[in-house]
Amino acid sequence: MEYLYETHMHTSEVSGCARSSASQQVAAYKQRGYTGIIITDHFINGYTSCPMDLPWDKQMIHVASGYTAAKKAGDACGLDVFFGWEFTIRGADFLTYGLDLEFLIANPDFDKLDFEEYSALVRRSGGYLAQAHPFRDAYYIEHNYPVAPHLIDGVEVINSVCARRENEKALAFAKAHDLPMQAGTDSHMSSGYKYTGIKLRERAGSIHDIIEAIVSKNVTLIW
């Protein structure tokens, strides 16, 4: 038996570009046979709906609110829900897993770090970083190429929103540097995508089980 997980998705509670709520997203993924999802709403340096005049701790509670709502809905229907976020620097996006709201609140203003500093903070705190769609070509992306391989733990080589050539470049980059690979839908609403993700041989009990499977290259990518 294999277990299907979404690694990259958004909710309208937090991501300004999302069109479906956390509960709508949960229902859609449950219907499609997924075992679990990782909520990766935009951080406050990306396309967020978070009011910027709130104090830091309240901003971080807002960042986690899509996950909080999704977790409640997931618990009710039997879909596992895990927490992450998408950190943005000069238009480049980085999926961040393995850390929690307590970490966010305890590190005020880390959205102002450059990427080397952010990478060091996340990784020494026990987190995982994957560059999302590193070759996406869009007007708002200044940095549409991969960062130095030693600064990330993995690469999103399949993103359902990207053009095929963009995904192929990401795959070639990951293979050239022997980096762990993952796939994600980058879903912003509950329909209209070619859904993708990763398959695991065992059900994940925590986000760290998913991280370990990706890092050990013990996942199947859904093409």
pLDDT in tens, the chain (223 residues): 899 999 999 999 999 999 999 999 999 999 999 999 999 999 999 999 999 999 999 999 999 999 999 999 999 999 999 999 999 988 899 999 999 999 999 999 999 999 999 999 999 999 999 999 999 887 777 766 689 999 999 999 999 999 999 999 999 999 999 999 999 999 999 999 999 999 999 999 999 999 999 999 999 999 8
**What's the pLDDT score for residue 145?**
66
Q: How many structural domains are present in the chain?
A: 1
**What's the pLDDT score for residue 223?**
81
* Prediction pTM value: 0.96
**What's the pLDDT score for residue 143?**
67
Which residue range(s) make up the domain with 55? 3-222
**What's the pLDDT score for residue 20?**
98
**What's the pLDDT score for residue 5?**
98
**What's the pLDDT score for residue 25?**
98
CATH of the domain at 215: 3.20.20.140
In the chain, what's the furthest Cα-to-Cα distance?
Answer: 48
Judge residue 96's burial from the number of C-beta atoms within 10 Å of its C-beta, 0-12 exposed, 13-18 middle, 19 or more buried: buried
Q: Which helix (H) or strand (E) holds 5?
A: strand 3-6
